[in-house]
Structure 1
Amino acid sequence: MPHHPDDPSPQWSPTGRRPRTAARLLTVLGVLAGPALLVALGAAGVLASWAALSLGAVVLGGGVVLAAATVFRGPGALRGRGGPGSPDTGDFVPGARVLVVGGGYVGLVAARALQARLGASGDGRHRGRRGARDRASTPVGSVTVVDPQPHMTYQPFLPEAAGGSIAPRHLTVSLRRVLDRCDVVTGSVVAIDDARRRAVVTLPDGVSRELAYDVLVLAPGAIARELPVPGLAERALTFRSVGDAERVRDHVLSRLDAAASIVPTTPDDLARRARLLTFVVIGGGFAGVEALGELEDLARRAGRQVGVGRDEMRWVLVEASRRIMPEVTEMTAARVHGRLARRGIEVRVGAGLASAEGGTVRLADGTTIPTDTVVVAAGTRPHPLLERTDLPLERTGKVRCTAMLQVAGRTHVFAAGDGAAVPDLARGALLADENPQVLTAPTAQHAVRQARVLAGNVVAHLGGRPLQPYHHASAGVVAGLGRRRGVAEIRGVRLMGWPAYALHRAYHMWAMPTAERKARILLDWVAAALLGRDPVATGAVVPSPRRGDADPGVSDGTPQTSDVREAPRPTAPDRPVTGPVDLAAIDGPTLREPHPSFPLLREPHPSGAARLGVPSAARVDGPVTGDQPALSWITRGRHDRR
C-alpha cells in the first residue's frame, strides 16, 4: 500500500536521504576478505603463489564492480528494477504535480532538468529509463508539458533556415522524444485560475479540460507584434516559426523565377520585373537584420542560376527608430549600417510605415516602394495567455517576477523567458524589488540560463531549501549577417566579418538542445559549404498569366477569375486529322482548346459536324480560372499509362 510521509517506518522517502544498510558494509568487507584469504592460502603453500595472486586479482576486480553497483545504485539494484527490496515499486508518495506551460526553449530545458529529478509516480507512468536513485531523491512526482506544437523551435537559427544553410526541421526538437518521462500534451492553455490551481487546456479536436497542478512553470513565450498599418496583415510575411522561414524562403525564390520569366521589352515589363525583385523587411532589430542578411545572400546566389543580376535586386530595411540594432552600441550599429549599405541594401531609419496596400509600401515621409515581398520582423509582444490569468502583470503585459524567478506574491508559480519581467541584478536591480525598472532583455542568452536556474529553484522550493537568485552579466551579443558575415560585441570588443560569424555559430551550436540536433546542424553546414545552398522553392507556385485578362499584373498567389468564356468551336471533317492543322481555321482559342498538334476528338454536334473538345458531360461550364490546367480537355485514360 502507498507509504505516507508521516509514517515512521523505514521506507525510502522522495525527499529524504537514502538509508544506509548493512548490505553495503558486508559487500565492502567481502571485497577485501576474498583476496586476503587467497593470499593467505598462497603464503601457507596450499595454493601456488601465481595462482593465488591471479585468483585474488580476479576476485578483487569482481568485488569492486559489485560494491560499486550496490553503493551507487542502492540496495536491491542488482536484483533489477521492481524486484524484491527495490525502492522502485510505485508505492511511494507521488510528490508534487508540476505543470509547464509552453514547450519553447525555457519550457523544454526546465522540463528536461525536472524529469532528471522525477520521483516515482503511483501509476508508474513516469518511470522511464533512469535509475531508482534519481527517481526517489526528489519531491517531483509528475511533470506535464503543454504546448500547441509537439516540438521546440530554436528561433536564433531561423534566419539560416530561411537562407538555406540549415534544414528547417533540424531547428526543432521533439518534445515527446526528449521528455520521455513527462506527460506531453499537444494543446493550448487558454486560461489559468491560480486561485484554484487549475489550467484550462484546449486540445486539437476542440475539447477542453482542466489540469490541476501544485507548481506552475509559466513560459508561453511571445508572439509577433502586430503593427496597425493598413494592408500589412494581408500582404506581409511573418518571421517567427519554422513554417514562416520556409514560406519566406520559397516566396523570395519564386519571385526570382517569376522575374526571370519576364522579357523586359516594354516599360510595363520593366516595372513588373522591378516590382518582383524588390524586397522590403520591416524591423531593424536583430531578427530583421539577420533575416535580411541571409535572404539577400541567398537571393544573390540564386539569381546567378536564373539569370537575375545582383544590381537588379533591391533590398530595403525599414526601421522606425533613429538607428538599427538597439541591442548593441551606437558605434557597432553604425558599422553594421555601413556594411549593409556597401552590399547595396537600403537602410531607412526613422521611417515610419504608413500603409502597405495595393502592392506598394508607403512610408511616413511620402516615399513609395512598389514591391511584391514584405517581411515583418518588428519585434514581439507577450503572449495573450498572460492576460487571461489572475497573476500580477507588469505594464508591458509580462508577468511580474522576483529575482528568484517566482511570480510576485505566488511562491508556487515560476516564470522565465520572453513573457517574464525578471529584475536584472547585473544592471542594478534590487533583489527584493518586485517591480523593477531594469529588466532582463528577451534574448536567447537569458533564456538559456533562466531555464536552468528555474528548474533548480523548483526542486529547492519543493524540498524546502533556499532558492538561488538569477544573476547574469551579459558577456555580449553575436549575430549573423549572411554567409561568412557577422557582428559581435563581447565585453567591449567589437568583431565584424568571419570571426564574428564563427562566434555566432559556435555560441548557438552550444545552446542548441540535444546532441543529435547539433550533429544534424553541423552536417547541414558542411554540406552547404561544400555543395552550396539549394535554391529550389518547393512550396510556392506563381500562377501563369491568363489569356483574356486586361492586365495580368503580378499575382500574389491567390487564384483569380478571368472573364474568358468559351469561344465557338471550329468544325472539322468527321474523320481523324492526319495532316497539318490550319491555324487560321481556329478562331480565338482559349485554355480549353486542344493544342493544334493533337488529333481532334469527335463529338456529336447539332450541325452534324464533329466538334473540338471533350464530351459535354465532362465539360465544366463557367469561367476559366487561373488554377485551371491548360490541358484539362484531355479525356481520362489518354495520358494515364498503367
Structure 2
Amino acid sequence: MTRPDEQYQWSPTGPRPRTAARLLAVLGVLTFPVLAVVLWVGGVVGVWIALGVAAVALGLGTAVLAGTALFRASPDAAPDTGDFVPGARVLVVGGGYVGLVAARALQARLGIAGDGRHRGSRPGRSRAAVPIGSVTVVDPQPHMTYQPFLPEAAGGSIAPRHLTVSLRRVLDRCDVVTGSVVAVDDVRRRAVVHLPDGTSREVGYDVLVVAPGAIGRELPVPGLAERALGFRSVGDAAALRDHVLSRLDAAASISPMTAVEAARRARLLTFVVVGGGFAGVEALGELEDLTRRAGRQVGVDPAEMRWVLVEAAKRIMPEVTEPTAARVHGKLTRRGIEVRVGAGLVSALDGEIRLADGTAIPADTVIVAAGTRPHPLLERTDLPLERTGKVRCTAMLQVIGRPHAFAAGDGAAVPDLARGATLADEDPKVLTAPTAQHAVRQARVLADNVVAYLGGRPLQPYEHSSAGVVAGLGRRRGVAEIRGLRLMGWPAYALHRAYHLWAMPTAERKARIVLDWVGSALLGRDPVAAGAVVPAPRRGDADVEVGAVRPAPVSDAAPQTSSVSHAASSDPAPVPFVAAGVEVDQPTLREPHPSFPVSAPVAVPVAARPDRAVTGDQPALTWLRPGRHDFLER
C-alpha cells in the first residue's frame, strides 16, 4: 500500500484535554447558578436556598477545574511525545461536516499513543495491525461551520462563533493544512494545494476522501450579484444581521414628512428573500422575528416592514410534502409575509426587484438562499462526475472505478438504497438528498469503509431511511414531518433544536449553544448592529468626490477670520470652499450655524485648512493647528 521510502508516517499525538471534566465544570459554574436565580425569581425557592445552591455549584465547579489542572500538571503523568506508526496516507479534501467527522473517526485508528492511551474503539489492537499512518485535512478555513444553525445566528439566538469548530483543536492527531485544493491528479495520487501566503505545494496520498461540500448557486439575474447578500458562512450570517438592523436604524432616522421621504423609509424597510427552500424559509423566519422585536425598540412600527419571499417553483419547501408546505405558506401569510410562488426573478437593477409577472418591489435588502451547486474543485479533478457536477459513487461511498477514493456529502452522487436504488447502479436516478441528516451518517460509514478497505475487509453500503425533516420558522415556531406525523409551532421548534444540537460536533460547542439559548430566552435578543456603522460626512464637507475639497485662497494682507456677530443687519459670513471648481457656501466646523444665538461678537482666529485630501477616516478637527488656544483667554 505504501512505498518503501514512505513506509512510516509521522503521527502527532498531543495531550488530550479532559473534555468531559471541563464540560462538567462549565455546566456547574454557569448553569446551576442561573437555574437557582430563575427558581428564586419565580418564587419556587427562597433567597437563601438559591444562594446556597449557587455557592455549592460554584464550589464544585471550581474544584473540578482545579483538579483537572493539577492532574495535567502532575509530574507523574508521562509526556505524550508521539510515535512512528506504519500505514497509509489518507488525504481528506474539505473540512466541513463530512470532512471533520470522517477525519475525527480516522484519527482514532492511528494506533497507540506514547503514554499507553489508545484512541480507537478496541484497546487490544496492536500498532502493527493499524492500517492508517497519517491523516491530512485540507480546507480554506481553519474551522468547520455547522450551517443548519446559521439562521439562528443571523437572528441573534446563537453567537456566530459558536457554530464553528476549530479543526486543529479537534483533529489534534491530524495534519491540518489551511489552504485550497486547486487540482487533484488521482492517477499520480497527488493534490495541488494553494496556501494563504501565495505558494503552492503537492500533497501525496494513498487514500483520498473527497468532501469539499457545495457553494451557493449564482442566479443569472442582472444586478443581483452586486446587490445580493449571501447566506453560506458565519461571516454571511453576521453581516446579514448587522445589515438588517442597520436598515431599521436608518429608517428610524427618517421622518416621512414628504412623499420622497416616505418612499425612502419604505424602501429601507422592505426585505426580499430569494429562495423558498429550507434555507430561505428559515432565514426569513428568524430575521422577520428579529426585526419585529427590534423595531419596537428603535421606533419602527412592525406594520411598516415588508418581507417578501420569492420562489420560482409552484410551491415553497420542496423538502416536505405538499400539505405541510401549504400550511407553512398559510402561517407565513398570516404573519404579514408576502409569499410569491411561480414568479422568478428577472432584474435587480436601479434599486428594484422585478419579477416575471411584472411586479416591481423597491427594496434595499436582497437575500439569496436559492440552493447550492457542487464545489467547482470537482471539475479540476480526473474523477468521474455526474451531469450535475457531483462525484459518481457507489453505495459503499467509493468513487466509481477508483476503489482507493471515497466521497460523501453535498458533492457526492450516492445512490439512495432506501428509495429504490441498487448496489449495481453506477448512474442511479435516485440519489441521497443534500441534507445534514445524510451528511451525519455518511461521514461515519465512510470512515469505517476506509479502514475496512485498508484492512482488506468487506465494505458496508450506506443505507438510511429518512426519519423526517425539521425546520425553524422563528422564535418558538417550527415545522416537522416525522414518519408521516406533521407538527407545527413550538413542538416542532423544540425538535428542530434538539436534533441539530445532537448533530453539532463536540460537547464544548453543544454547551456554548445551550448557554446562548438560555441567555437569549432570559434577556432577549440584542438589537445592536455592531458591524454596520457607516461613517457620515462631516458638516462643511461638500457632497463631492473625496479629495476634491480645498480651502479658498486667503491673501496675506487680510487674515482669515470668522466674524460671528448676531446682528439684525447682517448674517455671519460663511467661509467659501472650492469643490471641483465650484464654491460651496455652507456652515463648516469653523463657525456655528447661523441659527445659533451668540450673546456678544467674538473674533476667533482660525487656522487655514491644510491642502490635503479629506477622508472619512480623519478625525474632524485634525486640520486645526496645535497650540492655538488663545480663544480660551478671551
TM-score bracket, shorter-length normalisation: 0.7 to 0.9
CA distance in 2, matches of 1:307, 1:273: 13
Matched, 1:223 2:215: yes
Q: Which residue of 1 aligns with 2:34?
A: none
Q: For 1:361, what is the secondary structure of its paired residue?
A: strand
Q: For 1:176, what is the secondary structure of its paired residue?
A: helix
Q: Which residue of 2 aligns with 1:55?
A: none
Q: 2:426 aligns with which of 426, 434, 442?
A: 434
Q: Which residue of 2 aligns with 1:465?
A: 457
Q: 1:505 aligns with which of 475, 479, 497?
A: 497
Q: Which residue of 1 aligns with 2:523?
A: 531
The one-letter code of the counterpart of 1:519 is A
CA distance in 1, matches of 2:204, 2:370: 37
- Displacement after TM superposition at 1:434 (Å): 1.3
CA contact (8 A) 2:540 2:587 kept: no
Matched, 1:287 2:279: yes
Question: 1:148-174: CA deviations, max 9, x gaps?
Answer: 000000000000000000000000000
The one-letter code of the counterpart of 1:222 is A
Matched, 1:356 2:358: no
The one-letter code of the counterpart of 2:590 is P
Q: Which residue of 1 aligns with 2:573?
A: 586
Distance 1:519 1:265, change over 3 A: same
Distance 1:572 1:342, change over 3 A: farther
Question: 1:459-502: CA deviations, max 9, x gaps?
Answer: 00000011000000000000000000000001110000000000
Distance 1:503 1:82, change over 3 A: closer
Q: Which residue of 2 aligns with 1:259?
A: 251
What are the ranges of 5 or more consecutive residues in structure 2 without an aligned counterpart?
12-75, 575-583, 595-602, 630-634
Matched, 1:326 2:318: yes
CA contact (8 A) 1:119 1:142 kept: no
Q: Which structure would you say has the larger Rg?
A: 1
Q: 2:148 aligns with which of 147, 156, 159?
A: 156
Distance 1:220 1:346, change over 3 A: same
CA distance in 1, matches of 2:302, 2:567: 45
CA distance in 2, matches of 1:296, 1:636: 50
CA distance in 2, matches of 1:140, 1:111: 11
Q: For 1:191, what is the secondary structure of its paired residue?
A: strand
CA distance in 2, matches of 1:581, 1:248: 52
Distance 1:636 1:291, change over 3 A: farther
1:69-468 to structure 2, matched below 5 A, reads 90=84, 92=85, 94-119=86-111, 130=119, 136=127, 137-468=129-460
Q: For 1:223, what is the secondary structure of its paired residue?
A: strand
Distance 1:127 1:540, change over 3 A: farther
CA distance in 2, matches of 1:307, 1:277: 13
- Displacement after TM superposition at 1:370 (Å): 0.5
Q: For 1:228, what is the secondary structure of its paired residue?
A: coil
The one-letter code of the counterpart of 1:176 is R
Distance 1:470 1:264, change over 3 A: same
The number of equivalent residue pairs is 539
Q: Which residue of 1 aligns with 2:592?
A: 596
Distance 1:191 1:591, change over 3 A: farther
Question: 1:237-264: CA deviations, max 9, x gaps?
Answer: 0000000000100000000000000011
Q: For 2:441, what is the secondary structure of its paired residue?
A: helix
The one-letter code of the counterpart of 1:596 is P
CA contact (8 A) 1:593 1:613 kept: no
Distance 1:403 1:595, change over 3 A: farther
Could you tell me the TM-score, scaled by structure 1's length? 0.77
CA contact (8 A) 1:360 1:371 kept: yes
Question: 1:178-235: CA deviations, max 9, x gaps?
Answer: 0000000000000000000000000001101100000000000000000000000000
Distance 1:148 1:612, change over 3 A: farther
CA contact (8 A) 2:471 2:480 kept: yes
What are the ranges of 5 or more consecutive residues in structure 1 without an aligned counterpart?
8-13, 15-77, 553-558, 599-609
Distance 1:400 1:309, change over 3 A: same
CA contact (8 A) 2:268 2:363 kept: yes
- Displacement after TM superposition at 1:630 (Å): 4.8
Q: For 1:585, what is the secondary structure of its paired residue?
A: coil
The one-letter code of the counterpart of 1:584 is D
CA contact (8 A) 1:250 1:539 kept: yes
Identity %: 76
CA distance in 1, matches of 2:346, 2:520: 39
The one-letter code of the counterpart of 2:326 is A
CA contact (8 A) 1:128 1:180 kept: no
Distance 1:114 1:390, change over 3 A: same
Q: Which residue of 2 aligns with 1:21?
A: none
CA contact (8 A) 1:581 1:597 kept: no
Q: For 1:527, what is the secondary structure of its paired residue?
A: helix
Q: Which residue of 1 aligns with 2:30?
A: none
Q: For 1:584, what is the secondary structure of its paired residue?
A: coil
Question: 1:321-378: CA deviations, max 9, x gaps?
Answer: 0000000000000000000000000000001101111111111111111111000000
CA distance in 2, matches of 1:301, 1:401: 47
Q: For 2:184, what is the secondary structure of its paired residue?
A: strand
CA distance in 2, matches of 1:464, 1:355: 56
Q: Which residue of 1 aligns with 2:37?
A: none
- Displacement after TM superposition at 1:543 (Å): 4.8
CA distance in 2, matches of 1:237, 1:319: 17
- Displacement after TM superposition at 1:586 (Å): 2.9
CA distance in 2, matches of 1:473, 1:357: 44
CA distance in 2, matches of 1:130, 1:573: 82
Considering only aligned residues, what root-mean-square deviation do their CA atoms show, in Å?
3.6
CA contact (8 A) 1:191 1:385 kept: yes
The one-letter code of the counterpart of 1:490 is I
CA contact (8 A) 2:561 2:606 kept: no
Distance 1:578 1:388, change over 3 A: closer
Q: For 2:571, what is the secondary structure of its paired residue?
A: helix
CA contact (8 A) 2:136 2:174 kept: yes
Distance 1:497 1:207, change over 3 A: same
